[in-house]
């Protein structure tokens, strides 16, 4: 349970050593470079190189995403990332690979043109479809000396009356296509009645329109468009094949991406160092436990570099790095998921770990699910070789799986079955389980108070521990003792004593006026109601555990009914049993993780936690597609 002590490191080197020194620091991966304020006239780095590297990085990232579906070696979540040496990330000769990127960009441009042509042709075909049965060439749809011609469409429901009205008139009507409710047609009328016919058409909802071509038959134009569309599809297949052939370069592109990312990190670090024409000066942080070995390594590699290491000044705030034993180290992810503790504050990881695992187990609450987690997670870590952050989450779930086996055995729940007598029965006898949840929650909150007291004592303020933590211990425990006749007398005086301390000391830092301090104390005493809500929050342990067990029993009952249907029923039953229990386990593992975090962040941390630490971010490799050989 510790926050790593940090020391200041300062380096003065010749400008010619700058690039090699930054690479060496990046390979060490334990020095965070920080900005240096100075009035010295500096030599500015060429920003064009930095912008060029950023542009190249974006282009390579795009090329990787473009080739993901053409990777000859298919990726899998169970397949570990390839291993790379640090030297491979320092090779800046990627000219050959950029030619591959340029080929991809040219192919993408051609592909974009083809997609545009295909869209244009598809739209033209859609516009032409209603006219396909037009019986005469388009150029013949025109007025004559004695007739008036209209082409277009109108709602089908309005045309029947027109046909009846025009029976005895010199009007020819030819329908040839339909699009939804609209009928496409050509109408020809003698000029003597043209105005009346046109008025009838307008009243029927006529919309004048012409085929989307200048001459010929629509059917012939459709054949031409479809032929052109087929040619465009063939070109798209050729481009797809050429793109697929470039997939062999994907591993090299991924390595180039890591190299460019590492270079970008070094260039970003250059913005924080002081540079003159002949020297560079940089400052940063290094873990105290590593400072001696870091100094020896740099002096050995760079004898001319002047290096000094010192403790932080009184006004300096070092970055925060957590350091815990291997068994509790994964739970640092829970801390960093909320906020890092302030420098000099308490790291609660070791105290939080058993409670987190316990809560996780109580909420998943099925020993069968716990066994699967406890056995499967180490195997997945071994096979997948996940990143450091993902590995922490895996081990948290594994620890939760072990706790789930214990609590599932106490609840007598094994994949929804209850084969043996149970110590706790949340379904048929829920009150003892509820009381247990409240009791464990009280221990959790008291642990938070104890950490707050430890934090005050560590700061050299033992009386603050009495005023802010011991008083609440007395008050809450005293109120709890009032519930039992045997301890009610002691509990009364214990609660009165705790309340008195809170009343007199809660406002000690806000005002010297005794009246104002008393008012502040009364407001603080009202906080006892928050303890009730905090304790009730732990009922989620009972609720989620009950839900897991009940859903498991329902699944088993459903499968039992299916098993009575012969061989087919048995086969379907097995599939449903496995799939439904996997789903039940997955959804409850996710919920257990989220709610276990919530109980830490709101209830537990609220009793003592001082956040505000800035994370320790050393200059190091942060690979995405490979694993770095340490």
Q: What pLDDT digit, counting tens, does each position of 561-609 carry?
A: 888 777 888 888 899 999 999 999 999 999 999 999 999 999 999 888 9
The per-residue pLDDT for range 129-152, each reduced to its tens digit, is: 888 888 888 888 888 989 999 999
What does 295-360 look like in DSSP terms, one character per residue?
Answer: HHHHHHH-TT-EEEEEPPPTT----B-EE--TTTGGGHHHHHHH-PBPTTS---HHHHHHHHHHHH
Check residue 278 and report its DSSP letter: S
Q: In what order do the strands lie in the sheet with 207-208?
A: 171-179, 182-190, 147-155, 207-208
**Rounded to 5, what percent of the chain is helix, strand, coil?**
65, 10, 25
Mean pLDDT of the chain: 87
End-to-end CA gap in the chain: 26
The per-residue pLDDT for range 70-98, each reduced to its tens digit, is: 888 776 666 677 777 777 777 767 778 88
Q: Give the per-residue pLDDT at 476.
A: 82
Q: Per the structure block, which two tokens stand in for 566?
A: 């012969």
Distance, in Å, from the CA atom of 176 to the CA atom of 154, rounded to the nearest integer, reads: 12
The answer to whether 584 and 551 are in contact (CB under 8 A) is: yes
DSSP bridge partners of 32: 285
Q: What's the topology of domain 1-45+271-321+616-630?
A: Alpha-Beta Plaits (3.30.70)
- Three-state secondary structure call for residue 151: strand
Cβ neighbours of residue 217 under 8 Å, at least 6 residues apart?
134, 136, 137, 138
Distinct helix (H) and strand (E) counts, the chain: 20, 13
Q: Give the per-residue pLDDT at 41.
A: 60
Q: Give the per-residue pLDDT at 78.
A: 62
- Three-state secondary structure call for residue 155: strand
Task: Please report, for residues 62, 73, 110, 240, the alpha-carbon distance to residue 104 in angstroms, rounded to integers and kept in the order given.
Answer: 10, 19, 10, 11
The answer to whether 320 and 613 are in contact (CB under 8 A) is: yes
Please state whether the predicted TM-score (pTM) of the whole model is above 0.85. no
Distance, in Å, from the CA atom of 536 to the CA atom of 421, rounded to the nearest integer, reads: 29
Distance, in Å, from the CA atom of 595 to the CA atom of 333, rounded to the nearest integer, reads: 15
Residues of the chain with pLDDT under 50: none
DSSP bridge partners of 339: none
- Residue 69: other Cβ atoms inside 10 A: 11
Q: Give the per-residue pLDDT at 479.
A: 82
CA 379 to chain centre: 24
Q: Per the structure block, which two tokens stand in for 374?
A: 């406890």
CATH 3.30.70.2750: which residues of the chain?
Answer: 142-209
The per-residue pLDDT for range 381-398, each reduced to its tens digit, is: 888 888 888 899 999 999
Residue 477, judged by CB atoms within 10 A of its CB (0-12, 13-18, 19+), counts as: middle
Q: What is the CATH number of domain 142-209?
A: 3.30.70.2750
Q: Give the per-residue pLDDT at 76.
A: 65
Report the chain's C-alpha Rg in angstroms.
38
Distance, in Å, from the CA atom of 103 to the CA atom of 613, rounded to the nearest integer, reads: 47
Q: Give the per-residue pLDDT at 74.
A: 72
Distance, in Å, from the CA atom of 563 to the CA atom of 573, rounded to the nearest integer, reads: 6
């Amino acid at each position: 349970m510790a926050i790593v002590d940090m020391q200041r490191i300062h380096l003065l080197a010749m400008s010619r050593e700058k690039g090699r020194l930054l690479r060496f620091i990046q390979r060490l991966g334990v020095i965070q470079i920080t900005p240096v304020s100075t009035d010295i006239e500096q030599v500015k780095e060429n920003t064009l190189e930095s912008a060029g590297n950023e542009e190249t990085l974006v282009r390579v990232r795009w090329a990787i995403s473009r080739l993901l579906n053409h990777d000859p070696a298919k990726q899998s979540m169970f397949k570990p990332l390839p291993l790379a040496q640090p030297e491979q990330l320092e090779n800046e000769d990627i000219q050959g690979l950029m030619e591959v990127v340029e080929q991809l960009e040219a192919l993408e441009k051609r592909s974009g043109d083809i997609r545009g042509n295909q869209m244009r042709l598809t739209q033209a075909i859609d516009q032409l479809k209603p006219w396909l049965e037009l019986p005469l060439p388009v150029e013949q749809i025109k007025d004559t000396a004695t007739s008036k011609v209209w082409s277009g469409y109108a709602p089908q429901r309005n045309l029947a009356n027109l046909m009846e009205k025009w029976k005895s008139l010199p009007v020819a009507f030819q329908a040839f296509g339909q699009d939804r409710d609209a009928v496409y047609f050509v109408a020809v009328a003698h000029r003597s009645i043209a105005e009346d016919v046109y008025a009838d058409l307008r009243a029927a909802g006529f919309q004048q329109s012409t085929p989307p071509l200048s001459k010929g038959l629509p059917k012939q134009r459709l054949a031409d468009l479809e032929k052109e569309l087929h040619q465009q599809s063939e070109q798209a297949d050729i481009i797809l094949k050429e793109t697929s052939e470039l997939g062999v370069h994907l591993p090299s592109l991924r390595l180039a991406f890591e190299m460019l990312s590492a270079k970008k990190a070094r260039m970003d670090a250059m913005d924080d160092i002081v540079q003159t024409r002949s020297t560079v000066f940089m400052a940063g942080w290094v873990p105290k436990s590593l400072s001696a070995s870091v100094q020896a390594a740099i002096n050995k590699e760079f004898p001319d570099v002047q290096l000094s290491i010192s403790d932080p000044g009184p006004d300096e705030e070092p970055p925060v790095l957590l350091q815990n034993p291997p068994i509790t180290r994964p739970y640092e992810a829970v801390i960093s998921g909320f906020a890092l503790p302030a420098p000099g504050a308490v790291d609660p990881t070791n105290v939080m770990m058993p409670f987190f695992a316990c809560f996780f187990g109580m909420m998943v609450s099925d020993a069968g699910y716990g066994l699967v987690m406890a056995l499967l997670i180490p195997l997945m870590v071994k096979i997948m070789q996940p990143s450091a952050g993902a590995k922490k989450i895996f081990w948290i779930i594994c620890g939760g799986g072990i706790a789930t086996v214990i609590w599932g055995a106490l609840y007598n729940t094994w994949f929804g079955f209850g084969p043996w007598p149970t110590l706790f029965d949340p379904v048929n006898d829920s009150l003892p389980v509820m009381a247990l949840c409240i009791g464990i929650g009280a221990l959790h909150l008291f642990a938070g108070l104890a950490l707050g007291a430890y934090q005050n004592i560590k700061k050299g303020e033992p009386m603050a521990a009495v005023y802010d933590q011991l008083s609440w211990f007395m008050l809450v425990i005293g109120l709890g003792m009032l519930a039992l006749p045997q301890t009610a007398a002691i509990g009364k005086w214990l609660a009165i004593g705790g309340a008195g301390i809170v009343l007199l000391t809660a406002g000690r830092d806000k005002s010297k006026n005794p009246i104002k301090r008393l008012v502040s104390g009364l407001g603080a005493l009202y906080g006892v109601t928050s303890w009730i809500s905090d304790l009730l929050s732990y009922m989620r342990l009972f609720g989620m555990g009950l839900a897991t067990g009940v859903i498991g029993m329902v699944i088993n009952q459903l499968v039992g009914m299916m098993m009575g249907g012969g061989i087919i029923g048995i086969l379907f039953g097995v599939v449903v049993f496995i799939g439904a229990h996997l789903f039940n386990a997955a959804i409850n593992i996710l919920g257990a993780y989220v709610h276990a975090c919530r109980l830490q962040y709101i209830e537990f941390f609220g009793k003592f936690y001082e956040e505000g630490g800035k994370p320790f971010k050393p200059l190091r490799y942060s690979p995405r597609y490979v694993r770095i050989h340490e």
